[in-house]
Amino acid sequence: MASRGSLVRPTYDVAQLDCSRWQETVHSDIETATGRAMDRARTVRSGWWTVRARDTTGGLAIEAWYDSLTLSRQSKVGELVPDTDGLLGGRYRGVLSSVGEFTPITHPFVPDEVADVANLADALADLFPALPPNDLTAGEAWRGSDAVIRRLADSTAGGRTITRYAAEARRDEHRTMPRGDTVPVRIRQDMSEQGQFEWETGVGLVRRLRDITVETVVPPGGRVRLTVRSRVVQHLELTRLPAATCS
C-alpha cells in the first residue's frame, strides 16, 4: 500500500554503485523536415552497463562500460544495424556528485558507423538522475533553475519500501553552428522531459523512466539553404540488475 513516508534524502555513494550492473533501453522516433521534404526514422538502443565507483575529491570517481550493446535505425531507405564490438568494454570515466551532477573526464572511441545511429560519446553523462539536495516528504517538490523533482507516494516491492520521484525538466537553447563557418547559423533547440525514478534505502537507484522531446530549428544561412526542423521523441528505461563481480 502506498504511504506518505518519512523524510528521505537520496544520495549516491560507493556502496550503491561499485560493481553495479544496469540494463538500458532507448527508443527514439525522429522526424526531420527540410523545406517540404519529410524524413522519418526510428532508432533502438539496448545495452548492459557495468559501473565501478570509488571515493574521490568532489564526489565519486566513476568508471563504466558496455558489456553488451545493440543498435538499429529504421528509415525509408531500410534498416541499419552497426557493429558495436569496437565500443564494448571501452571505458567511460567521470566524477559523480552525491546529488547526481556528472563531470565527464573521458569516453571511449565511438566508431563512425555507431555515431551515425546514436551519439554515445556522452552516454554515461546522463545515465543517472539528478537528486533533490534536501529532504522531501511525499507531495513536496524541489525546484531548480530548469528542473522540478517531486516525491510521490511510496510503494512496496517484496516487502521493501520503494521511494518514488517524478522529474520534469525544460531547456531552451540558442547557439551558433557550425563553429568557424564564415556565415554563422543560429540554431534554436527546445527540450522537455518528464520521468520517474525509484529509490530503495540501502540499495540506491533501482529504476528510471524518461520521456524526452527535443525540437530543433535551423534557419537558412551559411551552408544551410532551407529551413531544417527536427523533432526527436525518446523513451528511455534504466533498470538495476542483480549484482555481480567485476574487474
pLDDT digit of tens for each residue in the chain (247 aa)? Answer: 344 556 778 999 999 999 999 999 999 999 999 888 889 999 999 999 999 999 998 899 999 999 999 999 999 989 999 999 999 999 999 999 999 999 999 999 999 999 999 999 999 999 999 999 999 999 999 999 899 999 999 998 888 899 999 999 999 887 776 555 556 667 889 999 999 999 999 899 999 999 999 999 988 766 777 888 999 999 999 999 997 766 6
State residue 182's pLDDT score.
Answer: 59
The Cα 138–Cα 132 span in angstroms is 13
- For residue 78 the three cell numbers come to 531500410
Strands (E), 35-133: 37-56, 59-75, 78-80, 92-96, 102-106
Domain 14-241 has CATH 3.40.50: no
State residue 222's pLDDT score.
Answer: 66
The Cα 83–Cα 85 span in angstroms is 6
Please enumerate in sequence order all residues whose Cβ is within 8 A of that of 57, keeping only pairs 6 or more positions apart, or say none: none
State residue 1's pLDDT score.
Answer: 37
Pairing of strands 141-143, 92-96: unpaired
State residue 177's pLDDT score.
Answer: 63
Every domain of the chain and the residues it spans: 14-241
Please report which helix (H) or strand (E) contains residue 15, including its range.
Answer: helix 14-17
State residue 3's pLDDT score.
Answer: 46
Angle, alpha carbons 207-211-212 (nearest 5°):
130
State residue 228's pLDDT score.
Answer: 86
Angle, alpha carbons 10-12-15 (nearest 5°):
115
The Cα 206–Cα 238 span in angstroms is 8
CB 233 within 8 A of CB 204: no
State residue 227's pLDDT score.
Answer: 84
State residue 173's pLDDT score.
Answer: 82
State residue 37's pLDDT score.
Answer: 87
**Would the pTM count as exceeding 0.85?**
yes
End-to-end C-alpha distance for the chain, whole angstroms: 40
